Amino acid sequence: MKRFILYLLIAGIAIRGLAQCKITENKQFAFPQSIPAGNYSGIAWLGNNHYAVVSDKSKEDGFFVFEIDVDSVSGELLSAKNLGFRSSGFENRDNEGIAFNALSNTILISGERDNRILEYKLDGNRTSREAQLPEVYRHLPANLGLEALSFNDSTRTLWTCNESDTIFIQSFDSLYRPRHLYVYHLDSPIANADKAWLYAHGAVAMCALDDGNLLVLEREFYVPKKKIGAFVNCKLFKFTVGNLKKDLLSTWRTKLTLLSRTLANYEGMCLGPKLADGSRVLILVADSQNQYGSVLKDWLKTLKIEMH
């Protein structure tokens, strides 16, 4: 009986823990008149309504600045505009993740081609600093290298991870020195990769929280040979680093059918401003592969996150 009561107490704690984070999913929108076709792969909030956005196929290494407005109550997207590109003057490194360090007023970008995390000034020029990466990242394949990136001002911690295979999540201190390494396990896929024309499954984005834990976005992208029937399945988790526990917060699917062209390959996300009730808005950006085949769009999406 004592064991049963203890089990109920533990279960109750777990249920209350999950209830502490409520997600409201908002519609996705594209803004073709103000956001040109791109390969947008990462996003970071700079403050107010400005965001730094990277593309893995921009002509040069650097980042775009987007102006994104959301409804102050619901977090719904109202408008979005590309304000231009800030170049470092170097060639693109297959830039995937981006983070803003408000403590130093600098940008950090992870490159999948060279597996480096470099620091940039807000004008796009590089500083002399970069993250000191542990050995596990040094020999990753070029298309499975560093992916997600996030910096939290409260914990003064930088986070990154690679996309798939064995996923390692690494934290760094404010001087970008490595701290802790964690192994992250993806959920099982729902599609058969052997039957796909194009397939990708991995952890593509993360947000560092004030409590020292992470939001992690898992994305499964399946395209059959006939193209029709393609889908992207997204799962948002809270990852508790202390016990390596994942809690599913939200899941959604976009698809390409004869009647629907909502297919959105979400690859970047960041926490944005607080809303009127104190909740936060989570903003996601999709990689359209330069609006591939005039079918894919540069979608943006928001989620309202209430943390109690």
Per-residue buried b or exposed e for 278-290, using 16+ beta carbons within 10 Å of the residue's own CB: ebbbbbbbbbbbe
CA count, 13 A, side-chain hemisphere, 30: 21
Distances (CA, A) of 214 to 160, 186, 257: 11, 15, 34
CA–CA distance, 16 with 189 (Å, rounded to integer) = 28
CATH class assigned to 21-188+274-307: mainly beta
Amino acid identity at 99: A
* Sign of the four-CA dihedral 136, 141, 144, 148: positive
Residues 95 and 58: beta-carbon distance below 8 Å: yes
Query: Tokens 């079918």 map to which residue?
Result: 295
CA atoms within 13 A on the CB side of 140: 26
**pLDDT tens over the chain, length 308 residues:** 444 333 333 343 333 334 378 999 999 999 999 999 999 999 999 999 999 999 999 999 999 999 999 999 999 999 999 999 999 999 999 999 999 999 999 999 999 889 999 999 999 999 999 999 999 988 787 677 899 999 999 999 999 999 988 899 999 999 999 999 999 999 999 999 999 999 999 999 999 999 999 999 999 999 999 999 999 999 999 999 999 999 999 999 999 999 889 999 999 999 999 999 999 999 999 999 888 877 899 999 999 999 87
How far is it, in rounded angstroms, from Cα 297 to Cα 32? 8
